[in-house]
Amino acid sequence: MTTLTGELLHPSITDPEMDSMRLLSETALRFPDALSFSSGAPYDGNHDLANLSYYTDRYIKHLRDKGVPEARISRLLFQYGPVNGLIQDDVALMLRQDEGIDVAPEAVMITHGFQEAALVALRGLFTSPRDVLLSVSPAYVGIRGAARMLDIPIRGVPEGPDGLDPDAVAAAARAVRAEGGRPTALYLVPDFNNPSGTVLPLDARRRLLEIAEEEDLFVLEDNPYGLFAREGETMPTLKSLDTRGRVLYLGSFAKSAFPGARLGYLVADQEVTDASGTVRTLAQTLSKAKAMYSVGSSTLSQAVIGGYLAEHRHDLRSATRELAAVYLERLDATLAALARHFPPGGDHGVSWNTPRGGFFLVLKVPFTADLAAMERSARDHGVSWAPMTMFHLDGGGRREIRLGFSNLAPEAIDEGIARLARFIADTPRETPRSAPRETTGDTV
Ligand SMILES: Cc1ncc(COP(=O)(O)O)c(C=O)c1O
């Protein structure tokens, strides 16, 4: 039997940071008795097995209603499908209604979740080892992992209470250039960032697009949570404000439908001229990368999601109103429980930010909140969470934890925060000087 040592494998495989996605999703399984604030798993109270076949049939009906011949429907669903997908026209309709994003179906690629959209976009845009990805920090672990898999250097731009400061993005781009690199693209989640819950204000969105033009940056806009804003507080996406073709929009059905479908999409309407002079969209051009990652997205998943879209007349914003209310109730329950257990002026050393929506908030605690602390919390106090160090790109967040409240009912949230308060009271405090030095800005 040949034995391998880690050094023989690609560094992304042995890098402990690459384990965070698995750790976050498996914490609930490892500690089944703990109340889990550790992941961003969506609410599953309305998952009904009957819907899987219902929506598939609904999609088949949708195709029949459009006059697609029976033999073609059968071929579309059973055979290898078109690489860029079956439901681009449905997604384009949805984007027009929900987000004011007006693109042709040819500008849409259906992907295996956000994750594949990120891999495809990065693969296409990053051409040399000098190319650097700028990213909001703290950031969703999936983007760091995708960049690492492709050997793309990533540079964090620390966010503040209102998300990314566009001038900090410009400064980071210039710093990369001064070091001999090429800042190629910027990744961010303008609406309810994971992990911090921040929302980028409208004027900053406009300014960021100007900076992208000035600094010659593409913008990778990731928007899984934008539908879950409070009534009247919805922000225009960067893509809908983008008049210069700077933004690639990365979508996911993980939260607006369900994550088991593993379905997302990439919107890339930029025009690309090939060697023969043929002009195609960037999404069509990148289909070579998509073909080599996954050949095509599951036709079954596309049928279910296509049926879900057709059933709701491609208006997911209306279709997810009740779901949004569920998440907002959970956010409010978390904030209320925190205020009860850690009253203002109390000697607890705990503070937190107050997002207006989304699935997450960040708590500052008076000790190092690492994985060992999380395991102690889950094992001895029955409550799990995520260390913020997993999300910081430059070593920050040591005394911060991410609370994901999306998959806990309000009563469980009350109990979970009570347990968390006991864990925090039980954990010896570190004086700021005894704690390792933070290297990036605060998130709260
Ligand atoms: C910021 C962010 N982007 C994307 C996703 C969804 O990714 P996928 O479609 O690969 O499940 C998540 C899910 O947690 C997320 O938090």
Give the tens place of pLDDT for each residue, 72-123: 999 999 999 899 999 999 999 999 999 999 999 999 999 999 999 999 999 9
Looking at the fold, whether 18 and 61 belong to one and the same domain comes out as no
Looking at the structure, tell me whether residues 123 and 265 fall in a common domain.
yes
User: Which of these three, 297, 319, 341, is where a domain ends?
Assistant: 319
Contact by Cβ (8 Å): 410, 325: no
Pair 75, 17 in one domain: no
List the CATH number of the domain containing 35.
Answer: 3.90.1150.10
Same domain? For 298 and 369 the reply is no
Per residue in 246-269, pLDDT (tens digit) is 999 999 999 999 999 999 999 999
CA of 147 to the centre of ligand 1 (A): 15
Question: Measuring CA to CA, how many Å separate 5 from each of 1, 10, 22, 172, 384?
Answer: 13, 11, 21, 37, 33
Q: Sorting pLDDT into bands at 50, 70 and 90, what band is 432?
A: low
Q: What is the pLDDT of residues 177-190, one digit of tens each?
A: 999 999 999 999 99
Question: In terms of domains, do 30 and 149 share one?
Answer: no
Q: Residue 213 sits in which domain range?
A: 53-319
Alpha helices in 10-108, H assignment, sequence order = 11-14, 20-30, 49-65, 70-78, 88-99
How far apart are the CA of 70 and the centre of ligand 1, in A?
A: 35
Closest of 317, 121, 342, 352 to residue 228, by C-alpha: 317
More confident position, 33 or 1:
33
Condensed to tens digits (0 to 9), the pLDDT of residues 344-375 reads: 988 999 999 999 999 999 999 999 999 999 99
**Quick one: 348 and 280 in the same domain?**
no
**Proportion of the chain above pLDDT 70, given as a percent:** 97
Write out the two tokens for 164.
């990314």
Where do we find the tokens 């994985």? Answer: 371
Do residues 315 and 408 share a domain?
A: no
- Does residue 4 lie within any of the structural domains? no
What pTM, to 2 d.p., does this model score? 0.95
- Among 293, 319, 345, the domain boundary falls at 319
Residues 336 and 312 in one domain: no
Residues in contact with 126: Cβ distance below 8 Å, sequence separation at least 6, in sequence order = 133, 150, 152, 184, 185
What per-residue confidence (pLDDT) applies to 5? 85
Residue 211 confidence (pLDDT) above 70:
yes
Q: Which uninterrupted H or E stretch holds 426?
A: helix 410-426
One domain, residues 181 and 58: yes
Task: For 43-58, give one letter per residue: b (16+ CB within 10 A) or e.
Answer: beeeeeeebbeebbeb
Mutation pick for ligand 1 pocket among 114, 116, 193 (CB with most ligand atoms within 8 Å): 114
> Residues 173, 281: one domain?
yes
The verdict on 332 and 219 lying in the same domain is no
307, 391: one domain: no
Domain limit, last residue, from 267, 290, 319 = 319
Instruction: Report the pocket of ligand 1 as residue ranges, CB < 6 Å.
Output: 40, 113-115, 140, 142, 189, 194, 222, 224, 252, 254, 259, 264
- What's the one-letter identity of residue 140? Y
